[in-house]
Structure 1
Amino acid sequence: MVKALVIGDPIEHSLSPVMHNEAFKQAGIQGSYEKKKVTSGDLPSFLQYLKESDYAGCNVTIPHKVAIIPFLDEIDPEAEKIGAVNTVVNNNGKLIGYNTDGKGFLLGLKEKISKPLREMNILLIGAGGAARSIAYALLQENPEKLFIANRSAERLDLLVKDLNKICVEPLSLKKAESELSSFDVLINTTNAGMYPNIDTEPILLTQLKNDAVVCDIVYNPLKTKWLQTAENKGAIIDNGVSMLVMQGAMAFEKWTGTFPDTNKMKEAVNDQLRR
């Protein structure tokens, strides 16, 4: 019996149990996955409990992705570079931290693009934890140029400095809007458009190329106003379900040794969201 869970605060909205329990079913593995509210104050005692338990590990969401790092026994080099952990493996009482967010996003993106990322100009909107994970993953693909736009210049400069690559260029949101026609891929990592603030958009898409790929890591609603606008302009769109499922599938593989049926996981998440 393989047991895992997701921890965060708040956690009620999490769809991870829906997709992981479907993954266990499809893989023919006897297992269970649950969600547990863990406050910042409870984090150290929860991790001690996890070490001593028979859980294979856990997923980590807001607000613990950075705070968890000092309590882990080991951290994967990539997660250390990113400075955030979203997956913990319990290896006989030794807790090892990984980050599957960026690679998970990349797996979903590659299903949507028709040419290699090294031939593309990419615009990443946001400079938080998700943007950081995705930027690191994108840079492994050596894109033509990675532009990053963010509301806070201070946070943006910090991320660009940490990435330390000549192909990375910071932009203001206004500048990004004015140069929109030069981007092949646009990625929103902010919570603009997320329920209940469904009328907000990260940037205006007035000058969008009609063959651009536009991605939003928000998945509630399934199609944000921003994605609807992009689709109406002829763009290929992708919502946050892809990243949610792919990062989860990579975590599932770390706990079980089996890469699950991601199409069935997606179906389970989409069904739940439609309800």
Structure 2
Amino acid sequence: MKLGLIGYPIKHSLSPWIHKQFLQQINQKGQYKLYETSDIELPETIEKIKQDDLRGYNVTVPYKQAIIPYLDELDIYAEKIGAVNTVVCDNGKWIGYNTDGLGYIQAVKADYPELFTGKKNVLVIGAGGAARGIFYALCQESFERVDIANRTIEKAMTLKSLNQTKQVKTNCVTFEEAEKNIDNYHLIIQTTSVGMNEDVAILSLDNLLHETVVSDIVYQPLLTTFLREARDQGAKIHQGHTMLLNQAKLAFQKWTGKKVSVNPLRYNLEQQLKKDE
């Protein structure tokens, strides 16, 4: 089975290792190839993928939206979000999916199932590509309110428009408003790249409640400054590598039709990420 990943930069991607483990779980021979490409080379790379006869491939930054015109079809979830992270070749048709949001929900639900009972409030920090899938998935759950904090309120408003449900309230707030009311939230999710290459936290967590779960989708470093500050205040933390594993699991199931488990991979991935820090 031939699989792959398209994006830039992706030389240090963990996806080949993850999907190799999944292939072993189902006793399937296969390979996972990296297609690192520039904007100009994108059409040529997509043509090469077709010639390489892939069963499917993942899409990462900066092409989750740029890939859409090259596909034959989108599933309803990817269409609503306006971004694709998984492509499946089905009888010659290239179909786009998005497993980011559901992968995130599954990752949090596995560690903190209590968040999904009763009426809870959520704060999403950021309104970029990663936030789209996560926000849309959150709005399908039974939360009381999902607020969006972003430097640009216009982008937050665009994200808010993805909420088509009536049961979940959504609101756009400034960073100052979010910090002032930080004790209103049961789950706080950091979706930006802040903390990946810099030792800073995007938001002050003063007055954070101990029962709050603070989540960061950045997984390199494994313990970001944002998570460290939350932990130091006694709050619960949720690390980004769990979303990475779960969105990969869902993508793999799209390609193979077979279920796999992230549990055997989680400890090994944690050790690998700690070693790389």
TM-score if structure 2 supplies the norm length?
0.94
Q: Residues 184-195 of structure 1: matches in 2 within 5 Å?
A: 184-194=186-196
CA distance in 1, matches of 2:194, 2:174: 16
Q: Report Cα offsets for 1:37-88 as digits up to 9, x if no partner.
A: 0222222222233334321110000110000101100101110110000000
CA contact (8 A) 1:27 1:260 kept: yes
The total of aligned residue pairs comes to 272
Tell which deviates more after alignment, 72-81 or 106-115: 106-115
1:79 pairs with 2:78: yes
Partner of 2:54: 55
CA pair 8-236 structure 1, distance change in 2 beyond 3 A: same
1:58 alignment partner AA: Y
Q: Residues 1-275 of structure 1: matches in 2 within 5 Å?
A: 2-113=1-112, 114-116=114-116, 119-163=119-163, 167-194=169-196, 196-197=197-198, 199-275=199-275
CA distance in 2, matches of 1:49, 1:35: 12
Q: Report Cα offsets for 1:139-160 as digits up to 9, x if no partner.
A: 1113100011001122112212
CA contact (8 A) 1:118 1:141 kept: no
1:225 alignment partner AA: T
SS at match of 2:111: coil
CA distance in 1, matches of 2:132, 2:236: 23
Identity in percent: 42
2:30 alignment partner AA: G
CA contact (8 A) 2:136 2:162 kept: no
CA distance in 1, matches of 2:90, 2:268: 29
CA contact (8 A) 2:35 2:45 kept: no
CA distance in 2, matches of 1:268, 1:75: 34
CA distance in 1, matches of 2:255, 2:164: 33
The Cα shift of 1:164 comes to 5.0
The Cα shift of 1:243 comes to 0.7
Structure 1 gap ranges (5+): none
CA distance in 2, matches of 1:271, 1:90: 34
Structure 2 gap ranges (5+): none
TM-score if structure 1 supplies the norm length?
0.94
CA pair 253-165 structure 1, distance change in 2 beyond 3 A: closer
CA distance in 2, matches of 1:227, 1:266: 18
Q: Report Cα offsets for 1:72-130 as digits up to 9, x if no partner.
A: 00101110110000000012321000000000000001123214255110000000011
CA contact (8 A) 1:117 1:141 kept: no
SS at match of 2:273: helix
CA distance in 1, matches of 2:267, 2:47: 35
CA distance in 2, matches of 1:140, 1:153: 23
Q: Report Cα offsets for 1:19-39 as digits up to 9, x if no partner.
A: 111111222221221222022
CA contact (8 A) 1:112 1:213 kept: no
The Cα shift of 1:269 comes to 2.4
Greater relative CO, 1 or 2 (CA 8 Å, sep 6+): 1
SS at match of 2:35: strand
CA distance in 1, matches of 2:117, 2:33: 36
SS at match of 1:252: helix
Q: RMSD of the TM alignment (CA)? A: 1.5
